[in-house]
Structure 1
Amino acid sequence: MHLILDESHRMKAGMGSQRGSILLNISSLPVRRDILSGTPMPQAPSDLQSQLDFLWPGSGLGLKIGQGSQPRQVLGNLYVRTTKEELGLKKPKRHFIHSEMNPGQQALYAIVRSEALKQFSSLKTESRFDVYKARRSVMTLLQLSVNPVVALRSMSEDGNLKTINSGILDKVIEEGPSRKMRDVVALARTLARNGRKSVIWTIFTDTILQLEVMLADLNPVSLYGAIPTGEEEGADTRENRIKRFHEDAACSVIIANPAAAGEGISLHKVCHDAIYLDRSYNTTHYLQSIDRIHRLGLPPDVETNIHIFQTVAPKGIGSIDYSVSRRLANKLRNLQQLLDDPDLHEIALDEENSVDPVNYGIELADLVDLIAELEGREPQFVDEEP
């Protein structure tokens, strides 16, 4: 028996996951095993350990990775990679676009960021660290950078609004969609006017649903976890929505979650613009979402554009979007060194050369004053002589 495992990086947790444990337990049964993956090492060299143990059970190759040996030294010539350069694909153009925060969003982001810093500092001082809570804080910051109104809902469910003044909350609600969301919507409309379909990527389902409303004039379709798979005809399925995007000239936008739609679909025949409203720290999701529109079969004269939106943060606060960019660059570099892929070099280089989205016109003191004003702690200025 010959067993071929596609998207093998999904078993990276090894015995720590149901998928990994099943695959490792049956690895000795086939006569031959092959694995396929565009991102075999999405986070760290340890991602390779279970994959090597599956390919060559009992050989000790996975153990060498676990003991710190360099992946290239362990793998040697045991793999082959076909690069996009070898496929003759034209390099995509990446555009980093900065969007300012609204005042209420700025104030709330600064408060949540300060609380997150206090929590993360426990990494150095406490033997026990609540990883789940830390991840929730990171996701809250990511959501605040793009959709603060929805972030408020999540924070309320977690009981994290008790210490935040109602004046700030009222301001955030009054502002509505962030400038970043409005900028993304504006770009999608501009592309549609020019006859170009686009795919908008966001990691938050609530944001997908809100974008559907904001872009109703472009007849969008959306893909996220709750959309079932099935036939192309006769039902509201993932396949039916993809078909509509391909065939309906009035449908100019597809809005998708990279975790749910980053694999298994091809959009490159009709779509050549990917718009990233936000991104996570997951390298696999980013690379595979790009591949939905930049893949084999793309005509050589077609230009592919990757539009990456980043929220501008006040000086001294730091943009979570820029943190994502730095970490993706680091992980892409590790992957590029393993696979010697010039395309990965280009993507990592673009991330490394992206400009930090900092608003140098706003100092920390200005932000403190803004928070105090929204909390009603500062006297109102009166435009008349005393």
Structure 2
Amino acid sequence: MRTHIEYIDDIAQGKISGSEDISMVAWNRIRELVIGIQPDAEIINKIILADWGTILSMAPHLAQLRKQYGFKTTYNDTAKTLLLRYRQEVKAVRSAAGTQKVEFNAEEIPNRLIDKGFTKRKLKEPYQLRDVSIMARLSNGANFSVPGAGKTTVAFATHVITRDSDTKLLVVAPKNAFSAWDDVVNDCMDETIRNDWTFTRLVGGYETIEALLRASPMRMIIGYEQLIKVQNLISDLLTLNKVHVILDESHRMKAGDRSQRGATLLKLSHLPTRRDILSGTPIPRSIEDIGAQLEFLWPGQSLGRQVFEASTPRQILNGLYVRTTKQELGLLSPKRHFIQVRMSSPQVALYSIIRQEVLKELSGIRTTGNIDLTRAKRSVLSLLQVSSNPITVVRRLTEQDPFSFNYDDPKIEAIFKSILEETDSPKIKEVCKLARQIVADGGKVVIWSSFRANVERIAHLLSDLGATYIHGGIDTGDENDPNTREGRIKMFHNNNLKCDVLVANPAACSEGISLHKVCHNAIYLDRSFNAAHYLQSVDRIHRLGLEPGTETNIYVFESTAPTSIGAIDYSVRRRLIVKLRTMFDALEDDDLQRLAIDEEEGEVPIDYDVTLDDLADIIDELSGKARIPEEEEGF
């Protein structure tokens, strides 16, 4: 009696075959194991076709079944190699758990890097040197350091010091982070070999990328969305070569197999020679967010499930990641200012109408649990828009023609036209007033909003201050072109130009840029429920490289309304507190705990990042049952 396990290269899947004489009891137990992990696995008679990750996950249980039912298992060569690597990784996780002791000699690292051409940049002590030591000791590593701590440098140094001469590097990153990887090569590698380390950008569509890969580059970088479209090309690359894969901003795969990017990465996870993940905000919504990232890092070991089920998640994570905190970087804590602005009467009227729609959409969340989540999230989106800029909702509801629209209800018509007459909400006016005051005092300011219309409107209102803006509609490109993202960032950095205000959308601008050299003031017109976007946007101006003693100011504007109808901005604040504390519980970073105490994760940020718990809190707020955050506990 035997089973045979094969790895099928051309489809990157596993195949389990049962011999004719294997008992049906044993085979049925094997079937149950597979279906329990992957319900859609293909099973025909005594042949099972499943994802390779499924095969890895069931490997320990299969060993128990062999002992229980007395059958043997054979393997093809590739399957044997991959299973041996999996066994080694299981041992690595077990040996690392519960300890952060550095077994790799940290004192040797600088000289080893120099020998390999890493001569231009010296790792900062103690944190970057420590992090490389730990990452190099692990066969796969996670770096959850705060933005500005040098995650890119640490990851690149880890690659340089651990690679064999024929090991390639593939970085998966947001498009706006591509330039950071180019910079790390220029800033770290010796001039005599720098060109040999240049990254090949895998962009331009399937045929172009196929041609680029035929040239067999050693260093490559690809975007998350592009990876989905060329999954088979990347699978071939990883199968036929030794490749170290780094996921930059790895929280982008947090949805796991419920999203295309997560499912693609999980299917490829067993192929790289080494895997590393980088994210300053690995848990933007809930502890579940880290599960898929861990499954990519250590496929088949169920670490994601273990973290979710653990009473203390850090017990599972301990020893498997590094994190440099802002406290270690010696940064002064930013000063947070919470500014409440009363809604205007027409704004309150429209807010009340939308509030009723939201409560209706959410009515089943605590009773039947049966709600249209997509419609509910869109209603919440409208409520947030009304709170910051009600005219955008009026225009949408009147098909962008509010003056000629055929109104059925004269009361609605009166409310809408009153909002149009106000032009801008009280909150927008107060934000612009504060921005002008900061610029008059000699400062620069970045203003954040989750909504494209708000970004463009504020930039227009502050155009006399040279305001420029960035949102998802602004393409990346040449820094000398003022119509590109890079060009506008360069304008903002140039103190010789009159460009004192940058208005931006966190979804488009909270990663991959640094503003701390010229700007120490951030204003939030509105915030979403996405804790990652908030933390990362703050980190644009509060990061390593600030001059000692530099004061950073964060101004959060919140619209207020009568207590009986609630204020959506207060719900956002409460939920951000919960998410920050969840991240603190997992990563044990006092900065996050302190931030949570101060505070007492199309228009993607809100629609895709509102959780059921967020919706439950919104119900309490709109029903007048929630506690209004006090300013000293505020966010």
- Normalising by structure 1, we get a TM-score of 0.88
Is the counterpart of residue 223 in structure 1 residue 499 in structure 2? no
SS of the aligned residue for 1:2 comes to strand
Partner Cα distance (2:311, 2:253) in 1: 20
Question: Which of 442, 453, 457 does residue 206 from structure 1 map onto?
Answer: 453
My pick for the range that moved more, 199-208 or 211-220, is 211-220
Describe the superposition over 1:6-58 as per-residue Cα deviations: whole angstroms up to 9, x where unpaired: 11111111112221122111211222211111111111111111111111111
Cα offset for 1:76? 2.3
Deviations 1:183-209 (A, max 9, x none): 000000000001100000001101111
Structure 2: how far apart are the matches of 1:305 and 1:198? 10
Aligned to 2:274: 32
Are 1:166 and 2:408 counterparts?
no
Between the aligned partners of 2:598 and 2:308, the Cα distance in structure 1 is 31
The residue matched to 1:199 in structure 2 has which SS? strand
1:355 alignment counterpart? 630
- CA offset at residue 165 of structure 1? 2.1
Shift of 1:225: 0.3
Check if 1:197 corresponds to 2:441. no
Q: How does 1:11-30 map to 2 (within 5 A)?
A: 11-30=253-272
Give me the whole-angstrom Cα distance separating, in 2, the residues matched to 1:123 and 1:304: 40
1:282 aligns with 2:557: no
* Cα deviation, residue 314, structure 1: 1.0
Q: Is 1:120 equivalent to 2:362 in the alignment?
A: yes
1:287 maps to a residue whose letter is L
Contact residue 203 and residue 278 of structure 1 kept, 8 A: yes
Residue identity opposite 1:105 in structure 2: Q
What's the counterpart of residue 330 of structure 1? 578
Aligned match of 2:500: 252
- Tell me which amino acid in the other structure corresponds to 1:263: E
2:259 and 2:516 map into 1 onto residues whose CA distance is 34
- State the 1:91 CA deviation: 0.7
Q: 1:143 Cα shift?
A: 0.6
Q: 1:284 to 1:23 in 2, by over 3 A?
A: same
Q: Greater shift after overlay, 313-322 or 67-76? A: 67-76
Secondary structure in 2 matching 1:135 = helix
Following the alignment from structure 1 to structure 2, what is the Cα–Cα distance between the partners of residues 52 and 105?
45
Where do 5+ consecutive residues of structure 2 fail to align? 1-242, 601-627
3-state SS of paired residue (2:499): coil
Distance 1:258 1:277 in 2: 12
CA distance in 2, matches of 1:336, 1:234: 41
Whole-angstrom distance in 2 between the partners of 1:47 and 1:199:
29
Question: Which deviates further from its counterpart, 333-342 or 237-246?
Answer: 333-342
- Give the Cα separation in 2 of the matches to 1:59 and 1:26: 15
CA contact (8 A) 1:14 1:20 kept: yes
8 Å contact kept, 1:322–1:356 = no
Task: Verify the 8 A CA contact 1:197 1:252 in the aligned structure 2.
Answer: yes
Give the 3 Å change call, closer, same or farther, for CA 36–336 of structure 1 in structure 2.
same
Q: Secondary structure at the match of 2:555?
A: strand
Contact 1:275 1:308 in 2 (8 A): yes
Change (3 A) 1:162 1:308: farther
- Conserved 8 A contact 1:11-1:50: yes
In structure 1, list runs of 5 or more residues that go unmatched. 358-386
1:242 corresponds to 2:489: yes
The Cα offsets for residues 292-320 of structure 1, whole Å up to 9 and x where unpaired, read as: 00011111111000000000111211110
Percent of aligned pairs sharing the same letter: 52
**Deviations along 1:325-369, whole A, 9 cap, x unmatched?**
000000001111111112111211111195279xxxxxxxxxxxx
Q: Which range moves more in the overlay, 13-22 or 57-66?
A: 57-66
- Trace 1:114-193 onto structure 2 (pairs within 5 A): 114-126=356-368, 128-157=370-399, 165-193=412-440
CA distance in 1, matches of 2:358, 2:297: 41
Write the distance in 2 (CA, Å) between the matches of 1:354 and 1:301.
Answer: 30
Q: What letter corresponds to residue 430 of structure 2 in structure 1?
A: D
Q: Is the 8 A contact 1:140 1:155 kept in 2?
A: no
Residue 356 to residue 136, structure 1, CA distance change in 2 (3 Å): farther
| Greater RCO, 1 or 2 (C-alpha within 8 Å, sep 6+) | 1
TM-score normalised by length of structure 2 = 0.54
Letter in 1 for 2:538: I
Amino acid of the residue matched to residue 64 of structure 1? Answer: Q
Return the match for 1:340 from 550, 572, 588.
588
> Which residue identity lines up with residue 484 of structure 2 in the other structure?
T
CA drift at 1:125: 4.3
Mapped pair 1:314 → 2:562 = yes
1:75-99 per-position Cα deviation (integer Å, ceiling 9, x unaligned): 1221111000101111100000011
Q: 1:126: how far off?
A: 4.6
Q: Is the 8 A contact 2:310 2:316 kept in 1?
A: no
Name the CA shift for 1:162/1:124 in 2 (closer, same or farther; >3 Å).
Answer: farther
1:271 and 2:519 aligned: yes
Aligned-residue offset at 1:149: 0.8
**Partner residue, 1:92:** 334
Cα distance, 1:217 vs structure 2? 1.1
Letter in 1 for 2:515: L
**SS of the residue aligned with 1:229?**
coil
Q: Is the CA contact (8 Å cut-off) linking 1:5 and 1:35 kept in structure 2?
A: yes
CA distance in 1, matches of 2:326, 2:486: 26
* Distance change in 2, residues 1:317/1:33 (3 Å): same
Structure with higher Rg: it is 2
Over residues 257-292 of structure 1, what are the superposed CA-to-partner deviations in whole Å (9 max), with x where a residue is unaligned? 000000011000000000000000000000000000
| Number of matched pairs | 356
Distance apart, 1:251 and its partner CA: 0.7
SS in 2 for 1:188: helix
Q: CA deviation at 1:73?
A: 2.5
TM-fit CA distance, 1:68: 5.6
Paired residues of 2:312 and 2:585 also in contact (CA < 8 A): no
Q: 1:315 to 1:234 in 2, by over 3 A?
A: closer
Contact conserved, 2:577 with 2:596, CA < 8 A, in 1? yes
Secondary structure (helix, strand or coil) at the match of 2:290 reads helix
| Equivalent in the alignment of 1:102 | 344
Q: CA RMSD in A?
A: 2.0
User: Which residue does the alignment assign to 1:374?
Assistant: none
Aligned to 1:384: none
Residue 398 of structure 2: SS of its match in structure 1?
A: helix
Give the match for residue 544 of structure 2: 296
